[in-house]
Structure 1
Amino acid sequence: MENILPKHSAGTCDAFSALSSRRSVRAKSASSSPPSSNNRRRFQFVQYGDTLPANYSMMKTIACDGNVSGATVQLTHWTGNETEEKYYADTSTEIAMNFIEHNNEDDSGEYADAIVLNNHYDTDGVLSCFALLEPEFALKHKQIFIEAAESGDFGEFSSENGVKLDIALSSICDPLSSLCVTDDDELAYSLAFEKVKGVVERLNEDVGEELWKEGYDQVLEAEKVFERGNARVRRSEKDARLAIVESRTEDGYLSSQAVHKKLKEIGADGVGENPVLRVLRATKDESSGKYRYFYEKPSYGWVKKLQKRREIPDVDADVLAENLSGSSSSSWSKGGPLGLSAICQMNE
């Protein structure tokens, strides 16, 4: 193929209420921080594409998981970032943790009163910003914070609770989830900040299970598809840098977390002995015997600069799709279900 070969649910609100029933509830403003006895940082949501608000131009500001032009400091893995090397990591959440640990979080620090900025809603954004607002709690739960960010941004299965936390936070603002509360990113941050502690502390309890059960069951179902032998992951015999995911159309697009577990088993994930550079999903329609293909980077491959994981070479997806369409009887187009890490797909 290339040179390597080719939203609102009453049940959700009730669950969130149960998780925080014993906590003081702050005003629902995304420009406020979660309750803390010694935290002086505040959060401000900035619309995607906007620059730093003028009223913050004379203040210390930290753009966390997202690029906000004009911010004093960047703590992000986004393309084109200027994050300092001493803080850098694969996820913005781990970058924020490094920042906290490096600066020892004393009240006299240069950024103790900084405004924390973000311009989009996702798990890595929530947890990286929350870490700066609630550093003591974040460091106590550092590993699960990072694992949830890896699930959200990279579709990885680092741990069961990491995936569950990602699903719970994602559901707040996911239009595809039956638990979606809002499609407003700013409001979603406000809701998430109120609930992070309760969700994290009760992940191993039945309370609040409905926040992640639907999404986690989908991951488990995808795992069962592999266990039943109806799907498999293997390296290409012609090029070990290509992983092939074979499945049936009737089983749908298998979750990235389930695929990641299988890649990990063969040492082909980003931190494995021999990481793959491309993934080809081949889904077979049992009734016709025909296949449909999705050509992708590994799910973390959209990040241009990586520390622990293998950096993934880029490709001109438009040119590749055009070449594939011209050299086969099928039509191909840029993109695919994997979003930022999708390259191209065979059209239906």
Structure 2
Amino acid sequence: MKILSVDDNPQNRAVLEKALSKQYEITSSDGSEPILALMETHQPQVVLMDIMLGTDYTGYDLVKEIRANSAYNNCEIIFISALTSSEDKLNAYGSGGDDYIAKPVDFQELREKLRRVELRQSERDGLKDMYEMASNTAFTSMQQASELGELVTFFTDNLEVTDLEILFGNIKQYYANAGVKCCVEFRVANEYYQYPKETISDLEREILELGRSAKRIVPFGSNLLFNSHACSMLVKGIHFNDDEVIGRLRDNFAILLTIVDSRIDFIEEQIEKRSIRQKAINSLKNQLTDDFSTIKSLCLSQDEQISKLVNDLSQAVQLKIITLGLDEEQESELMGLVDETKEVVAETLGLSFVLEDKLKSITERLKAVE
């Protein structure tokens, strides 16, 4: 413990130094030097202050100067004086003193007071350490809560994302908030997508490709490579001096990789579902096209058969008219019936052409379905 002794009597200073120097680091002054300069130079934990210094200033004045400077709030001041009245002691206490010893000094009493000062200093230091530890813990907890909050935000913001470009943009922003940069490779449906597309270097591409078969976390220099079955993320420029911070960020980045994995798995499922749906649509298109072709062929065949039957009927009627001996009126009536039949058949054939056009239109529309 450092002690500053202020006394205008050199004999008193010498006695104090001899009595205390083996146990403490003691510096003496006659009070003529500026007290704050002495405090700044020696940084004492205890000041032993005489009251009557033989100058324009008293010990009270010097102590008031010390107490006016908050840098020395924890420095304890013990007055040592031949002035022993209650008024003197009250003045000493009022000026900022912590204790008082009358001259001639009882060194056993002084050592006991210094021992108590050491004990209080130790308690204060312990409390200070506890406060700093609590403050650091609280700050770390708040920092962790903030970082976890960012992970939760990333998760919720990407619940509906199915576009890899957008997903990378959100990953990039997350890392930017953490003060680092990144490049990413997504592995989706046996295809590889590397970002940022325009600025990724050949070396970064190679590193991401190595991630396809590397362990989950690969550190090298100020970089970390995080890998999974669906994604590799190269995190660049982790320039932090605090190992605890680096460890925490490493854990957070690993959690981010897990979140991205789940997103990629979802996107892959959607791609697979779309593929299955497209195959089903294509199969249906082909089946309907074949069915419509069959219907068209049947309609054409039926039209040909009907036309042939009507023509045969017309010819047969005309031949029979000659042998039946019908008069002109009967012959005209019978041929009228034949003509009406032809008209009905023609209308029916016209409907077949309409049906054919509709089938053709449906077939073209099916071909356009994706």
Regarding TM over 0.5, the answer is no
Greater Cα radius of gyration, structure 1 or 2: 2
Question: Which interval holds the TM-score relative to the shorter structure?
Answer: under 0.3
